[in-house]
Amino acid sequence: MEGLRWPREGLTRIPFWVYTDKDIYAREQERIFQGPNWNFVALEAEIPRPGDYKRSFIGDKSVVVVRAKDGAVHVVENRCAHRGLQFCQLHLGHANEIMCPYHQWTYDLDGSLIAVPFRRGVKSQGGMPAEFSLADHSLRKLSVARRHGVVFASFSDGAEPLEDYLGAPILELFDRVFDGRGLKVLGYSRQLTPGNWKLMFENIKDPYHASILHVFLLSFGLNRVDQPNRVVIDAKGRHASTMTWRGEQKRTEANLDMRSLIEDLKLNDPTMLDPVREFERYTVCMTTIWPNLILQQQSNTLAMRQIITKGPNAFELNWTFFGYETDDEAMTQRRLRQANLMGPSGYVSVDDSEMMALAQQGLGPAPESAAVIELDGPAWREEEDHGVTESQIRAFYDYYRKVMGL
Amino acid sequence: MNGDNAYRTLGPRDLRLELEALYADYTGCLDEERFEDWPGFFADPCLYKIVPRENFERGLPLATWLCESKGYLLDRVQAIRKTSVYAPRRVRRIVSGIRIIGWSGDVLEARASYAAFETLIDELTRVFNVGQYHDKIVVDGGALKFREKICVFDSLLVPNSLIYPL
Transcribe A340-404 into DSSP letters. GGSSTT-TTHHHHHHHHHHHHHHHTT-TT-EEE--TT-SS--SEES-S---HHHHHHHHHHHHHH
Share of chain B above pLDDT 70, in %: 98
Q: Look at residue A98 and tell me if it is in a domain.
A: yes
- Based on the fold, state whether residues A128 and A239 are members of the same structural domain: no
Residue A152, strand partner residues: A40, A145
Residue B138 has pLDDT above 60, yes or no: yes
- Based on the fold, state whether residues A172 and A139 are members of the same structural domain: no
- Based on the fold, state whether residues A106 and A231 are members of the same structural domain: no
Q: Which residue has the higher pLDDT, A370 or B4?
A: A370
Q: Is some CB atom of chain B closer than 8 A to the CB atom of A318? A: no
Q: Look at residue A339 and tell me if it is in a domain.
A: yes
The alpha-carbon gap from A188 to the nearest alpha carbon of chain B, in Å, equals 7
Q: In what order do the strands lie in the sheet with A52-58?
A: A73-77, A61-67, A52-58, A92-94
Mean pLDDT of chain B: 95
Contact A92, A52 (CB under 8 A): yes
Residue A12 has pLDDT above 80, yes or no: yes
H-state helical runs in A162-293: 162-166, 168-177, 197-204, 207-210, 215-219
Q: Which residue has the higher pLDDT, A250 or A116?
A: A116
Q: Look at residue A124 and tell me if it is in a domain.
A: yes
- Based on the fold, state whether residues A108 and A202 are members of the same structural domain: no
B4: left (phi over 0), alpha (psi -120 to 50) or beta: alpha
Write b or e for each residue in A142-152: b if 16 or more Cβ atoms lie within 10 A of its Cβ, otherwise e.
bebbebebbbb
Q: Is some CB atom of chain A closer than 8 A to the CB atom of B161? A: yes
Interface-testing mutation among B84, B89, B126, with chain A (most A C-beta atoms within 10 A)? B84
| Residue A377 burial (C-beta neighbours within 10 Å; 0-12, 13-18, 19+) | middle
SS3 of chain B: helix, strand, coil, percent, to 5:
30, 45, 25
In this prediction, residues B72-96 reach a mean pLDDT of: 96
Domain that holds residue A199: 167-404
In this prediction, residues B31-52 reach a mean pLDDT of: 98
CATH number at residue A261: 3.90.380.10
Which of A146, A175, A205 terminates a domain? The answer is: A146
Residue A53 has pLDDT above 70, yes or no: yes
Residue A137 has pLDDT above 90, yes or no: yes
Pairing of strands B126-140, B143-153: antiparallel
What pLDDT does residue A161 have? 98
Q: Look at residue A153 and tell me if it is in a domain.
A: no
Q: Is some CB atom of chain B closer than 8 A to the CB atom of A212? A: no
What pLDDT does residue A37 have? 98
The verdict on a CB contact (< 8 Å) between B63 and A358 is no
In this prediction, residues A349-356 reach a mean pLDDT of: 96
3-class secondary-structure state, position B82 = helix
The alpha-carbon gap from B51 to the nearest alpha carbon of chain A, in Å, equals 9
Confidence of residue A351 (pLDDT cuts 50, 70, 90): very high
Confidence of residue A252 (pLDDT cuts 50, 70, 90): confident
Q: Which residue of B has its CA nearest to A93?
A: B58
Span B72-83, pLDDT tens digits:
999 999 999 999
Residue B67, strand partner residues: B48
Q: Is some CB atom of chain B closer than 8 A to the CB atom of A70? A: no
Confidence of residue B156 (pLDDT cuts 50, 70, 90): confident
What pLDDT does residue A257 have? 78
Which residue ranges make up each domain of chain B? Answer: 6-153
The maximal CA–CA distance of chain B, rounded, in angstroms, is 50
Number of domains within chain A: 2
Which of B58, B158, B160 is opposite residue A357, by nearest beta carbon? B160
What pLDDT does residue B3 have? 55
Of A17-21, A39-43, B2-6, B87-91, the range with the lowest mean pLDDT is B2-6
Residue A135 has pLDDT above 80, yes or no: yes
What pLDDT does residue B4 have? 63
What pLDDT does residue A159 have? 97
What pLDDT does residue A404 have? 98
Residue A63, strand partner residues: A56, A77
- Based on the fold, state whether residues A398 and A309 are members of the same structural domain: yes
Mean pLDDT of chain A: 94
Q: Look at residue A278 and tell me if it is in a domain.
A: yes
What pLDDT does residue B36 have? 98
Of A143-157, A234-248, A257-271, A354-368, the range with the lowest mean pLDDT is A257-271
Confidence of residue B6 (pLDDT cuts 50, 70, 90): confident
What pLDDT does residue B155 have? 84
CATH number at residue A84: 2.102.10.10
In this prediction, residues A148-167 reach a mean pLDDT of: 98
The verdict on a CB contact (< 8 Å) between B75 and A265 is no
Span A87-115, pLDDT tens digits:
999 999 999 999 999 999 999 999 999 99
What pLDDT does residue A247 have? 72
Sheet strands (E) in chain B: 42-52, 65-67, 89-104, 107-120, 126-140, 143-153, 157-159
- Based on the fold, state whether residues A105 and A216 are members of the same structural domain: no
What pLDDT does residue A199 have? 98
In this prediction, residues A190-195 reach a mean pLDDT of: 98
Which of A215, A262, A344 is opposite residue B162, by nearest beta carbon? A344
- How much is the pTM? 0.96
Which of A112, A146, A180 terminates a domain? The answer is: A146
Does the domain at residues B6-153 carry the CATH identifier 3.10.450.50?
yes
Backbone angles phi, psi at A94, to 5 degrees: -140, 135
What pLDDT does residue A318 have? 98
What pLDDT does residue A228 have? 83
Of A18-27, A193-202, A212-221, the range with the lowest mean pLDDT is A212-221
User: Tell me, what amino acid is at B108?
Assistant: L
In this prediction, residues B131-150 reach a mean pLDDT of: 97
In this prediction, residues B47-76 reach a mean pLDDT of: 97
Span A280-307, pLDDT tens digits:
888 899 999 999 999 999 999 999 999 9
The verdict on a CB contact (< 8 Å) between A344 and B64 is yes
Distance CA B70, CA A272 (A): 12
Pairing of strands B143-153, B42-52: parallel
What pLDDT does residue A210 have? 83
Residue A54, strand partner residues: A65, A92
Distance CA A160, CA B25 (A): 60
Which of A87, A116, A146 terminates a domain? The answer is: A146
What pLDDT does residue A177 have? 97
